[in-house]
Amino acid sequence: MGNKLYVGNLSRTTTDRELEEAFTPFGEVKSVQIIMDRMTGESKGFGFVEMASDQQAQAAITGMNLKEISGRSVSVSEARPRPEGGGGGGGGRGRFGGRR
C-alpha cells in the first residue's frame, strides 16, 4: 500500500484547501494536487492526496471513498504509479499527414 491517493469525481470548483481539509481527520496530509487542464485552466475533476503514512492513507480510503466533497460523491483509491517513459501521445499521422 502506498501513501499517495487518487481522488476522482471532484467538483470543478473544489480547491486544494477544501481537499486538504477533507483528508486531515485521517492523518497528516503531506501534499494535495488537483489536476488542471492546461488549455482552460479548469479542474479536470480529479486529484491526488499524499498522506504521511500507509496507515493514514488506508484510513483515508476507508473514510472518504464515496463521501461528499463540494456536493459530489468522490472515489478514493491508491494512486497507481505513472508509466515509465512519461508522456503518451503518438499515433500515426492523423488528418494532416496524408499522401502527397
pLDDT at 61: 98
Say how far residue 27 (Cα) sits from the centre of its chain.
18
Cell numbers for 49? 492526496
Kindly list the averaged pLDDT for each block of 10 residues, start to end, along the chain of length 100: 92 96 98 96 97 97 97 96 65 51
Q: What are the boundaries of each domain within the chain?
A: 4-78
Q: What is the pLDDT of residue 85?
A: 67
Q: Does domain 4-78 have CATH number 3.30.70.330?
A: yes
The amino acid at residue 43 is S
